Amino acid sequence: MNDVRSIEVIDSHTEGEPTRVVLGGWPEPSGATMVERRDVMRREQDALRRAVVHEPRGHDAVVGALLTAPERADAVAGVVFFNDVGYLGMCGHGLIGVVRTLQHIGRVEPGHVELDTPVGPVSAELARDGAVTIRNVPARLHRADVTVTVPELGEVTGDVAWGGNWFFLTELAGVPLEFSRRAELLRLTTLIRDALDAQGITGSGGEWIDHVELFSAPVRQDADSRNFVLCPGSAYDRSPCGTGTSAKLAVLHAKGHLALGQRWRQEGIVGSLFTGWLEAAGDVLIPHIQGRAFVTGRSTLLFDPQDPFRYGLT
């Protein structure tokens, strides 16, 4: 990594949540598949992940997206999402940001866009007004009504579901989902995640549940529900979370509360909205998530060999 002197990025936010797309300067990770490329990034290029998302250039809520060569001939690009603590399977708000960024640099036009990720192929429809609808990887309910014992909270019952990442979805009576209470919400969801871990409650194959999602009645009149989502590190999602909304759709459908095609309007903690619905494809459920992203900046990150923090604060 020592010969990297600059990295080109474009910043955007999707319904309030930041995405930093890496366009150049990051050596192309080797590997024939997106999984292999993600593993090379993790093994050999992790300093660049930290440099792009950590302070002093970033902060704990930034999700990075490295564009690579695609796996499939008809895909525009491959994309590996990463954050302050590691790599994400998929990222819903991030994909919406990637599509708008590709439009900004003239690589896509309104219409259909195919992209490859380490957890499978995804696609998006970019509308003329800038709205993006992503077609996510299949979502599923893994375990319903699981009870975990959490310090301060006692027994908390929720569902474990996959929406491109692993989620524990629950409600906490008497805990309002208000932006002004975000520090407390972060603390409580972190306690839940730690308790899930300590009590061996995982996704399939023992995978770590790294996102916790709380729900309440919405504040907006045009929404069905409001959420607060703890991301893998210590940040919360400013958007309603694309993979989290996907997991929610799978849970609602499995419990008989959401028909195929029925719209679900998920409000996030800052009051922004994703609209989601499910489509059946064979025996799997494909979530569609619609939202908006806005490009906020374009910059060149510089690496001064004299700078002790050029690879970020750890």
Comparison of 17 and 267: residue with beta carbon closer to ligand PYC: 17
Measured between alpha carbons, how far is 293 from 211 in angstroms, rounded to an integer? Answer: 22
CB-based burial label for 31 (10 Å; 0-12, 13-18, 19+): middle
CB 305 → ligand PYC: shortest distance, Å?
33
- Please pick, among 41, 241, 251, 252, the residue that the annotation labels catalytic: 241
The CA distances from residue 281 to 111, 135, 139, 278, in Å, are 21, 12, 11, 10
Least distance from ligand PYC to the Cβ atom of residue 274, Å: 8
User: Which of 48, 124, 192, 231 is the binder for ligand PYC (CB under 6 A)?
Assistant: 231
Q: Is 241 in the site for ligand PYC (CB under 6 A)?
A: yes
242 makes contact with ligand PYC (CB under 6 A) = yes
CB closer to ligand PYC, 242 vs 276: 242
Closer Cβ to ligand PYC, 292 or 310, answer by number: 292
- Amino acid at position 97, single letter: G
Least Å distance, CB 98 to ligand PYC, is 11
Q: Is 231 a catalytic residue?
A: no
DSSP category for residue 268: -
Grouping H, G, I as helix, E, B as strand and the rest as coil, residue 312 is coil
Whether the CB-CB separation of 264 and 252 falls below 8 Å is answered with yes
Residue 251 CA to residue 53 CA, distance in Å, equals: 32
Residue numbers 90-129 binding ligand PYC by CB under 6 A = 91-93
Whether 241 sits among the annotated catalytic residues: the reply is: yes
Q: Select from 12, 68, 227, 243 the one that contacts ligand PYC (CB under 6 A).
A: 243
Residues acting as catalytic residues: 91, 241
